[in-house]
Amino acid sequence: MSRRANIVIPRQVLLLEIERRCQDANCHARTRVGLTKDEARAYCGFECERCGQFWDDLLTERDVPEWWEELTITDLYTVRENKQAEPEDASEVVKRMSEDFRRARDAGEGEEDSF
């Protein structure tokens, strides 16, 4: 008997679709970008479908009014900063919070949780 290979395709719920225009004066093509929640948190730009040029961009409350509060509460900007390989002028508060988290995590590694 032969074994059948199963193909598994992970599914993610599409949060939104945004429309942007290429900023190149000669192109100005319309590009539609579909984003999941995780992608929306890390979104920092789009690639033009016609010319292939990448343009920096940010989501605004106008793009996702019904999800804006959730995205900002779940660290929309912090996720974006971490994704961009630790910028030189990263927020001092974020750095301190990250260091405190690592210290607390390292201190708790040897302890067992009791319920």
Write out pLDDT tens, residues 13-36. 777 889 999 999 999 999 999 888
Q: What are phi and psi of 56, to 5 degrees?
A: -65, 140
Say if residues 18 and 60 touch (Cβ distance below 8 Å).
no
- Alpha-carbon separation of residue 109 from 105, 106, 114 (angstroms): 6, 5, 13
pLDDT over 90, % of the chain? 24
Q: Is 111 exposed, middle or buried (0-12, 13-18, 19+ CB in 10 A)?
A: exposed
Q: What is the pTM of this model?
A: 0.53
Residue with token string 């942007």: 20
Which residues are within 8 A (CB) of 68 and not within 5 positions of it... i.e. 6 or more apart?
61
